């Protein structure tokens, strides 16, 4: 008993000494003084100190205070002392981390390692706490485990620079990455292993694994793959499908990973009755048109989700922005049928009080407001807001556009629509140097003010010089010449062209032109453009290299022409972006005709079609078609040779030299023709590791095309074709496009060019 009492007394004395409290008696704190601070502010100490002026301090409060300050991790020693009725807090600060160094890391960049440690509070300038080192090492190992390197070894050394700072040096031996040796699916009967594994991001080693790293195990990737597996079954009628267990095992040498997934498929269900319930603001007949599920179909979770979104969007267009649609299946296990009820809760109709714009320091509000399809005072429409956002993006004045719809304080049925834009420089001085296989070295100067004085009007001056042409151009465009969105533009151009450098017949042209155009929006997606221009053209040729067809035309019509050209186009455009779209349609018909009274009378018409069809897993199918026809009328006997269509090259049929297809002159150079047929099919592919980079596009393509003359029968068997791959990069220095094509159905004499590229040319 006596020993216990003595031991207890010793413990109490030690605790009092550790707390550093000189007086055992409690006292009321009249003031608090902090000593020993060098880098940490007194305010930080007071924030964590659980004692304030006026509090009574005793042994318990002292111990709690010391623990609280130690817990911050800022100090390696803390004492509490008493100076009369003043509580003195004496601290010794921990060192700060002056530097973090890494040696031996190759698989993971140093910046990524530093960022991971920063998230757990271990970074340059932070207080060094040795107790955190174990957590730091675990974080570094976690990053390496995520990259499949389970054999990684990490050593560390703390180097004292002085009494106030330390350097922490990490030495990393990465080892080899563990590879997925096998993925086993157990319990699957409806779908074979091969079909399931095609959906997975994880894979056993293949010839692309060195690049894609898909054979390196990742817990996050496995979670995504399991969700893909669930979707496969739930979208094909297996309502009761479940993943029972997942085992991931690593061999003792940490080189191979084995993954085993156990599943229970259950029975396959079909859709029974489909009903709508709840508050049906819109007529049921209209809503049923948006329902994808029908009686007798295979049950599909994807169809249920898509239907719920369709119904929600439809209600959103009626002002019910916060509508909620839940798909509730009623499962009959015996009949293996699921009756589906879509329960509709529209909520309250919401109106727009104000539309506000933020971030447009240069651009006037009216320029943004005239693009709005959502009106103030009307009920909110998600479709109109989304369309307004797209129209702002397509102006080209902003790097980014975001929109929010905060509720108006004090109301339950009003919101504001706030558009926030990030302006890009609207005035550009571009000095460019580029190269293309067809045009050679290209020098261009372009002074453009797309948003002149914030008015939305465009003023530009351009000078381009290459082995093919030299061009001077002055342009002006007012996109809202009228309040209805009718645009008006003026254009003056001088150009010199050496056609012989483009693989076609040898001739030079000098052209001076000036014109005016009008653009008229018919609907949100339909546009009409009309224009008139005057052109003066002079043709110069070398008699030694003159084809008889060209010579006859020049003999009849002369070599100088003054014409007035009328132009018109009709377009239908639903693309979701002006550059690199991935969905939508562009259909365009372009016609031009010279007027009577000019030196030449002819007309041309072209049909341009582009269809972007989204496919699964970020793939897009692009179908393009271009058909052109031209002819003369009146006293002019044929379409002028310098207005002919041409084919071949990166913009039409890749794998053949630019402008090389079709009829030839007696010297074997392309003459072109008045009939053009070109078709392209491309599958746009996701770029590994660059999915979020919008300036790069890669595709596999099939091209076919040729040009003909009216005297020829258009024979589709003469179409030149090619298949290959292409890439486009909108770099800060201009467009870079490359392609590699394998021509087929080519004929003797065709000029083949499998690898083609352009840099700095016009997109």
φ, ψ for residue 390, nearest 5 deg = -65, -40
Give the residue, 534 or 448, on which the prediction is more confident. Answer: 534
Share of the chain above pLDDT 70, in %: 88
Q: 333-358 burial by CB neighbour count: b if 16+ within 10 A, else e?
A: eeebbbbbbbebebeebbbbbebebe
270-345 matches 179-264 in CATH topology: yes
CB neighbours of 695 closer than 8 A, spacing ≥ 6?
580, 729, 730, 731
| Averaged pLDDT, 716-729 | 90
pTM of the entire predicted model: 0.63
Residue 650 — pLDDT band, cuts 50, 70, 90? confident
HEC readout, 660-725 = CCCCECCCCCECCECEEEEEEEEEEECCCCCCCCCCEEEEEEEEEEEEECCCCCCCHHHCEEEEEE
* Average pLDDT value for the chain: 84
Q: pLDDT band at 342, cuts 50/70/90?
A: very high
711 compared with 267, residue with greater pLDDT:
267
Degrees to nearest 5, angle at CA 711 with 706 and 716: 35
| Distance separating alpha carbons of residues 478 and 457, to the nearest angstrom | 5
pLDDT at 109 over 50: yes
pLDDT tens string 467-479: 666 788 888 888 8
CATH 3.10.20.310 fits 351-423, yes or no: yes
> 427-761: what CATH class?
mainly beta
For the chain, the domains span 2-93, 96-173, 179-264, 270-345, 351-423, 427-761
Q: Name the DSSP class of 543.
A: G
pLDDT at 503: 58
Buried b (16+ CB within 10 A) or exposed e, 198-233: ebbebbeeeeeeeeebbbbbbeebbeebeeebbebb
What band does 761 get if pLDDT is binned at 50, 70 and 90?
A: very low
Which H helix or E strand runs over 550? Answer: helix 548-557
What average pLDDT does range 553-582 have in this prediction?
Answer: 87
CATH number of 270-345: 3.10.20.310
The CATH code of the domain at 179-264 is 3.10.20.310
Q: DSSP readout, 31-64?
A: EEEEES-SSS-HHHHHHH-S--TTPEE-HHHHHH
Q: Which two tokens stand for residue 748?
A: 């003797």
Please say if the pLDDT value at position 746 is more than 90.
Answer: no
* Between 425 and 403, the higher pLDDT residue: 403
CATH number assigned to the domain covering 96-173: 3.10.20.310
Task: Decide: 467 and 491 in contact? Cβ < 8 Å.
Answer: no
Residue 398 has pLDDT above 90, yes or no: no
pLDDT band at residue 743 using 50, 70 and 90 as cut-offs: very high
- Cα separation, 267 vs 458, whole angstroms: 64
Domain range 2-93, CATH architecture? Roll (3.10)
Q: What mean pLDDT comes out for the span 446-452? A: 63
Burial 651-688 (b: 16+ CB within 10 A, else e): bbbbbbbbbbbbbbbeeebbbbbbbbbbbbbbebbeee
Per-residue pLDDT band for 244 (boundaries 50, 70, 90) equals very high
Strands (E), 251-407: 256-264, 270-278, 324-332, 337-345, 351-358, 398-404
Of the pLDDT bands very low, low, confident and very high (cuts 50, 70, 90), residue 466 is low
């Amino acid at each position: 008993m006596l020993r216990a009492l003595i031991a207890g007394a010793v413990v109490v004395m030690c605790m009092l000494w550790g707390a550093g409290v000189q007086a055992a008696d409690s006292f009321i704190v009249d003031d608090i003084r902090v000593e020993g601070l060098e880098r940490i502010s007194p305010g930080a100490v007071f924030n964590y100190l659980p004692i304030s002026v006026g509090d009574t301090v005793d042994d318990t409060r002292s111990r709690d205070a010391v623990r609280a300050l130690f817990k911050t991790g800022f100090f390696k020693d803390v004492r509490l002392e008493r100076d009369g009725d003043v509580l003195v807090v004496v601290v010794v600060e921990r060192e700060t981390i002056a530097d973090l160094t890494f040696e031996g890391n190759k698989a993971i960049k140093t910046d990524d390692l530093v960022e991971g440690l920063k998230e757990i509070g271990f970074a340059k300038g932070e207080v060094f706490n040795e107790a955190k080192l174990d957590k730091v090492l675990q974080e570094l190992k976690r990053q390496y485990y995520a990259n499949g390197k389970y054999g990684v070894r990490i050593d560390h050394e703390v180097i004292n620079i002085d009494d106030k700072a330390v350097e922490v040096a990490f030495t990393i031996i990465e080892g080899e990455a563990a590879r997925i040796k096998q993925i086993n699916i157990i319990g699957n009967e409806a779908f074979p292993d091969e079909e399931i594994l095609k959906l997975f991001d994880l894979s056993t080693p293949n010839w692309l694994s060195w690049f894609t790293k898909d054979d390196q195990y990742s817990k996050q990737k496995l979670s995504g793959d399991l969700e893909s597996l669930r979707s496969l079954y739930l979208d094909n009628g297996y309502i009761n499908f479940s993943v029972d267990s997942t085992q991931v095992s690593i061999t003792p040498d940490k080189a191979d990973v084995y993954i085993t997934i156990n599943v229970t498929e259950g029975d396959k269900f079909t859709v029974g009755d489909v009903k709508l319930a709840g508050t049906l603001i819109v007529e049921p007949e209209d809503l049923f048109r948006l329902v994808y599920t029908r009686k007798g179909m295979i049950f599909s979770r994807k169809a249920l989700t898509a239907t719920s979104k369709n119904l929600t969007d439809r209600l959103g267009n009626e002002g019910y922005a916060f509508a909620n649609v839940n798909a509730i299946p009623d499962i009959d296990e015996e009949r293996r049928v699921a009756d589906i009820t879509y329960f509709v809760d529209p909520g309250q109709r919401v109106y727009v009080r104000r539309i506000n714009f933020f971030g447009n320091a240069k651009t006037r509000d009216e320029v943004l407001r005239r693009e709005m399809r959502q009106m103030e005072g009307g009920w909110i429409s998600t479709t109109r807001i989304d369309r307004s956002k797209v129209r702002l993006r397509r102006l080209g004045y902003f790097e980014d556009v975001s929109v929010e719809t905060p509720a108006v304080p004090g109301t339950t049925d009003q919101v504001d629509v706030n558009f926030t834009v990030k302006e890009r420089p609207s005035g550009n001085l571009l000095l460019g140097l580029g190269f293309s296989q067809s045009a050679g070295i290209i020098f261009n100067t372009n002074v453009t003010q797309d948003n002149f004085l914030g008015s939305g009007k465009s003023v530009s001056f351009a000078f381009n010089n290459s082995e093919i042409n030299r061009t001077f151009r002055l342009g002006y465009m007012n996109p809202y010449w009228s309040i209805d969105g009718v645009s008006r533009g003026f254009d003056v151009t001088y150009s010199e062209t050496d056609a012989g450098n483009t693989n076609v017949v040898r001739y030079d042209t000098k052209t001076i032109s000036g014109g005016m155009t009008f653009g008229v929006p018919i609907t949100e997606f339909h546009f009409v453009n009309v224009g008139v221009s005057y052109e003066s053209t002079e043709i110069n040729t070398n008699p030694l290299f003159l084809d008889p067809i060209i010579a006859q035309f020049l003999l009849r019509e002369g070599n100088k022409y003054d014409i007035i050209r009328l132009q018109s186009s009709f377009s239908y455009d639903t693309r979701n972006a002006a550059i690199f779209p991935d969905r939508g349609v562009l259909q365009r018909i372009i016609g031009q005709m010279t007027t009577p009274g000019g030196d030449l009378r002819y007309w041309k018409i072209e049909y341009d079609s582009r269809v972007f069809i989204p496919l699964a897993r970020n793939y897009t199918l692009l179908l393009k078609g271009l058909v052109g026809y031209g002819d003369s009328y009146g006293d002019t006997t044929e379409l002028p040779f310098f207005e002919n269509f041409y084919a071949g090259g990166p913009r039409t049929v890749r794998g053949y030299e630019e402008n090389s297809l079709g009829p030839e002159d007696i010297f074997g150079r392309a003459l072109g023709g008045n009939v053009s047929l070109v078709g392209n099919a491309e599958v746009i592919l996701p770029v590994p590791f660059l999915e979020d980079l919008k300036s790069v596009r890669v595709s596999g393509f099939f091209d076919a095309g040729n040009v003909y003359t009216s005297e020829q029968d258009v024979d589709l068997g003469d179409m030149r074709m090619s298949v290959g791959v292409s890439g486009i990069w909108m770099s800060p220095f201009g467009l870079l496009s490359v392609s590699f094509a394998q021509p087929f159905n080519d004929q003797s004499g065709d000029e083949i060019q499998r690898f083609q590229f352009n840099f700095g040319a016009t997109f």
